[in-house]
Chain A
Amino acid sequence: MTTRPLPQDPMVRAIITQARQAQLNRRTLLTGAGAGASALALAACSPAGAQGKPTPAADESATDKSLNWANWAAYIDEDDDGNYPTLEAFQKESGIAVDYEVAVDDNNTYYGKVKDQLALGQDIGADLVCLTDWMIARWIRFGYAQEFDHGNIPNIANLTPSLRDVDFDEGRKFSLPWQGGFAGICWNKEAVPGGLASVSDLWQADLKGRVGVLSEMRDTVGLIMLENGVDISGKWGDDEYSEAIELLRQQVADGQIRNIKGNSYLEDLKSEDTLAAICWSGDITVINAEAGDKWEFAIPTAGGTLWNDNFLVPIGSPRKANAEALMNYYYEPEVAAEVAAWVNFITPVVGAKEAAAAIDPELAENQLIFPDEETLSNAYVFRALDGAEEQKYQAEFQSILLGS
């Protein structure tokens, strides 16, 4: 059987490659024709994983003035009618019609939804997505992100210096921070009047069964490692990780930790199932506004974790230049200040603090939105993990979450 060049369509290519792998020649295909073969072909549509790296789609931004942006809920300024003021201003200014979609509610589920199309280099229906550091690292490693043309993003000069050279994307070739935040500890001010200072304070006897921790491995284990004196941004290995995991396992087994949750940990704080927790900075501002000023957030004395959600252009998007125009717009300090004032997370844009001071001086002093050097010096970014480490460490963490 002579090998012919593969057709252009990525889906057809994938089917043919799969069929060749399964060593199906014409005769077996014909004998198995009908239901069986079609079922097999359909089943083969799901790729086993990226064989090589997909190639970026051709940019049609010059003719196609539209953009699809997938983001998290409550992550952009919104007025009472449900419009996005800064985004509307951008559409007017640039003539690009933006379809803003709240499509991401969890890094893992979003990845589960789009991974097969990404592996085939197809358009996932979003030209710009915002995902967390570690997930971005995976996309870059797998070649699922398009390289930026920094010439189209002159405002990149406004990026906070400490975020310019992150270990998963040196020189920010594939990603740009959108908003960031701290993970730290919080407590119910009525139930814990003395407050908490460190992660170890969560293990005190009178909080037994009333402590919650996050199901985000890098935040929960990261904070415990910091408490153990490990610099999570630096070099550390299995021993440091295991030490933290064993402590966590012990606290879960002893019943000190009530539950391990994602975003829904806020429900437990509100219902007072948990009185203290490992939590995210911006959330506490939000529930204090929603349910009475009852909770306080602090970065533990031994340090908190700092994470960012980053812009990324998926490999199959044909509108990269439009996406770059939008990122450039949101790196204007005035625009960044307007967004930060609404979402309560940390903006990565230099000059936004000054711009915010002009709108509301009190806001510019909020350390959780515009942290100064001192606050930032106590916040650490969890170092990038390679594939094998991610697999091993996640498996250990999940074994606690799933119990036995």
Chain B
Amino acid sequence: MAFAAFATAEAQTQAPKRKSRIALFLLLPGIAYLVLFFLAPLISLLLTSLQAPREFGDIGQFDYAFNWQNYTAVIQGYLPHILRSFGYALASTVLALIISYPLAYFIGVKARRRPMLQGLMLVLVIAPFFISFLLRTLAWKQLLSDESFVITSLKALSLMAPDAHFTGTPFAVIFGLTYNFIPFMTLPLYTTLERLDTRFLEAGSDLYASPFTVFRKVTIPLSMPGIVAGTLLTFIPAAGDYINASRDFLGGTETQMMGNVIEANFLVLLNYPAAAALSIILMAVILVLVGVYVKRSGTEELL
């Protein structure tokens, strides 16, 4: 074991020294892909976000300029939506983690001796992917509509006020986000927990740690890579999601997120600079938040 680790470490330090034309050549398709489908659109987005309306122009007509006021204007106009996006994304990430962790722990640790059960449960986690994301969200909307069994029962039990609704509320949007991103949280957690060496847990108990302390001091640190990967895979797309919050799905006029604002500015108002500026802000904020998060959880080497 020790020798093997030493050997790989040596190979790693040696690798960058050798210049290989073949390696560069093999990288070309990847680089071309990134330039074509990431760099070019990004530059285009940046240029668009700085455009200014054409003088006496019609709706949707803009010229290239350095109109940085677009950014202050969208922040002033849409601050509630920006905050709401990250608030909803955070809430649904935490909820997804609370729901997924026990699930992943059961599949990855408790069900180890029963591969059939493990396989079956994994299939159940992945099964929702067999149906379109849009259809599933629409189905929830119907299942939780005012006259549905669930809502009428809750009202009969006085758990909901008689004139209350579920669809169109923040709860509905957070519910939808959580539901839709649970597999993205469960799978990374499962892959780390599946490799968890249970002998460490035994060792912890032998040292008179309570089960909770073992969980806090051993299980959680060992599953950190899964937690970080899962929360990132949930938080990033959830912050930019515009399906769940859309008025046509689970949202209402008071639950609109950044994605919905971008959509309205791009498609309806034809205010392309505002839509582009909002997209850049969304990317920048996510980048900063994720950077701080990864740094603070001290898991750069684990990623």
Kindly identify, within residues 54 to 69 of chain B, every residue whose CB is under 8 Å from any CB belonging to chain A. 54, 57-64
Q: Count of A residues near B, CB < 8 Å?
A: 49
Say yes or no for A403: interface residue by CB 8 A criterion: yes
Given contacts A22-B64, A267-B141, contact A401 B247 (CB under 8 A): yes
Alpha-carbon separation in the docked complex, A44 to B163 (Å): 53
Chain A nearest CB, measured from B118 CB (Å): 38
Q: Within the assembled complex, what's the spacing in Å between the Cα atoms of A402 and B252?
A: 9
Given known A-B contacts A267-B138, A402-B260, A49 and B62 have beta carbons under 8 A apart: yes
Chain A: minimal CB distance from B155 (Å): 13
CA–CA, A40 to B58, complex, Å? 26
9-residue interface stretch from B1-9, B15-23, B122-130, B263-271: B263-271
The answer to whether A108 touches B267 (Cβ under 8 A) is yes
Q: How far is the CA of A50 from the CA of B57 in the complex (A)?
A: 10
Interchain nearest-CB distance for B210 vs A (Å): 48
B146 within 8 A of partner (CB): yes
Q: Is A13 an interface residue (CB 8 A)?
A: no
Compute how far the CA of A115 lies from the CA of B266 in the bound complex, rounded to whole angstroms: 12
Which among B51, B81, B255 is the interface contact of A48 at CB below 8 angstroms? Answer: B51
Q: A258-B252, A259-B253 are in contact. Are A391 and B142 (CB under 8 A)?
A: no
Query: Within A345-404, which residues are at the interface with B (CB < 8 Å)?
Result: 387-388, 390-391, 394-395, 398, 400-404
- Out of B39, B44, B58, name the residue touching A46 (CB < 8 Å): B44
Q: Encode contact with A along B56-89: 1 for CB under 8 Å, 0 otherwise.
A: 0111111110000000000000101100000000
| Given A48-B63, A109-B267, A273-B165: A35 and B35 interface contact (C-beta under 8 Å) | yes
Mark contacts of B76-111 with chain A using CB atoms, 8 A cut-off: 1 yes-contact digit, 0 otherwise.
Answer: 001011000000000000000000000000000000
| Chain A residues within 8 Å of B261, by CB | 402
The proximity string for A residues 268-284 relative to B, scoring 1 for CB distances below 8 Å and 0 otherwise, is: 10011100000000000
Do B247 and A210 have beta carbons less than 8 Å apart?
no
Q: Which residues of chain B in 187-236 are interfacial with respect to chain A, using CB atoms and an 8 Å cutoff?
A: none
Q: Given A272-B146, A403-B256, A262 and B248 touching (CB < 8 A)?
A: yes
The answer on a CB contact under 8 Å between B266 and A112 is yes
Among the listed B54, B145, B147, B253, which residue makes an inter-chain contact with A49, where contact means beta carbons less than 8 Å apart? B54
- Pair A112/B267 contact, Cβ less than 8 Å: yes
The reply to whether B145 and A42 contact each other, CB–CB distance below 8 Å, is no
Does A75 count as interface, using CB distance less than 8 angstroms?
Answer: no
Q: In B19-50, which residues have CB < 8 Å from any A CB?
A: 31, 35-36, 39-41, 43-44, 47-48
Q: A272–B152 Cα gap in the complex (Å)? A: 12
CA distance A402 to B253 in the complex (A): 5
B183 at the interface (CB under 8 A from A): no
State how many angstroms separate the Cβ of B112 from the closest Cβ of chain A: 44
A209-B61 CB under 8 A given contacts A109-B267, A394-B268: no
Is B300 an interface residue, CB under 8 A from the partner?
no
Interfacial chain A residues near B138, Cβ < 8 Å? 267
CB distance from A342 to the nearest CB of B (A): 27
Which residues of A (34-55) have their CB < 8 Å from a CB of B?
Answer: 35, 38-40, 42-44, 46, 48-50
Q: Which A residues are in CB contact (< 8 Å) with B141?
A: 267, 271
Residues of A within 8 A of B80 (CB): 403-404
Q: Complex: how many Å from CA A261 to CA B260?
A: 13
Residues of A within 8 A of B267 (CB): 108-109, 111-112
- Whether B240 is near chain A, meaning CB under 8 Å from some CB there, is no
B140 CB, min distance to chain A CBs, angstroms: 11
Interface set, chain A 245-269, CB cutoff 8 A to B: 252, 258-262, 264, 267-268
Q: Are B145 and A261 in contact (CB under 8 A)?
A: no
- A138 touches B (CB below 8 Å): yes
Cβ-defined contact, B247 with A43, below 8 A: no
Q: Are B54 and A260 in contact (CB under 8 A)?
A: no
B36 to chain A, nearest CB (A): 7
Check if B247 sits within 8 Å of A215, measured CB to CB: yes
CA distance A252 to B255 in the complex (A): 13
CB contact under 8 A between A141 and B58, given known A43-B47, A271-B142: yes
Q: Which of A40, A142, A264, A271 contacts B248 (CB 8 A)?
A: A264
Q: Does A2 contact B (CB under 8 A)?
A: no
Q: Which 9 A-B pairs have the closest CB atoms?
A: A43-B44, A387-B58, A271-B145, A42-B40, A49-B61, A272-B147, A39-B40, A403-B253, A108-B267
Residue pairs across A and B with Cβ atoms less than 8 A apart, 17 shown, are A39-B40, A40-B43, A42-B40, A43-B47, A46-B44, A50-B61, A142-B58, A209-B163, A209-B165, A252-B253, A258-B168, A259-B253, A261-B248, A273-B145, A391-B270, A401-B247, A404-B80
